[in-house]
Amino acid sequence: MKHPTTKIVIIDYHGGNLASAQMAIAFACHQINIKVDILISDNPQDIMEADKIILPGQGAFKDCMQGISQTKNIHQALNYSVSRGTPFLGICVGMQIMAEKGLEHDVTLGLGWIEGEVRKMKTHLPLPQMGWNELHFKKGCHPILEGVEPNSHAYFVHSYALTHENKKDVLATTDYEMDIPAIVAKDNKIGTQFHVEKSQSVGLKIISNFLLWQPSLS
């Protein structure tokens, strides 16, 4: 009996670090022994046919949203797929644009999937926050964190963070002289402020959990 192939689409909006994400996903698939087809694409049809969607964001909130909105109807295809229940993972700025708006350089509307806005971090520490930091969460809070221990370290690179968020959407935080949402989740949508593809064993475990995750929209 043949096992079905999972179609994973990494959205190409001509602005993210796609190759490292693709390599990390392929390695995670090998670890959990699932058959996948990993496609980097800006084709709306590919997005609508995907079993899992991953958006690695890099750079500014405004640039990321412009790339999503101006490239071959990606925005519409993304909303269509997510509304039908396709699991979505946003990485770094890919997580930030899940919010209602971003205030980097200008006011830019986000995807509006979760409450809150993305603002420059208020801290006396150097910006961007760059390097390893702890993840604070309650063990067993969500399947995406299964097998990950509280206070594990992940790799962050950012100067802006989600604020005015709904606490129910926040799975994990990190401390950088202030509590920063590090993982958000709502229905079939997950976002990580840190780079899962650069977070070694912790990141690979989270990617693996996402690939195996079967969320419910109920």
Identified catalytic residue from 29, 92, 117, 165: 92
Find the largest Cα–Cα distance for the chain: 59
The residue among 84, 74, 70, 61 whose CA lies nearest residue 9 is 74
Sole residue written with tokens 């070694």: 200
Sign of CA dihedral 37, 41, 24, 53: negative
- Helix/strand/coil for 94: helix
Determine whether 197 is an active site residue.
yes
Please give the structure tokens belonging to residue 52: 């899992």
Determine whether 146 is an active site residue.
no
Which DSSP state fits 48? H
What gap in Å lies between CA 6 and CA 10, rounded to an integer?
Answer: 13
Identified catalytic residue from 104, 117, 165, 197: 197
Determine whether 195 is an active site residue.
yes
Identified catalytic residue from 29, 104, 158, 195: 195
Residues annotated as part of the active site? 92, 195, 197
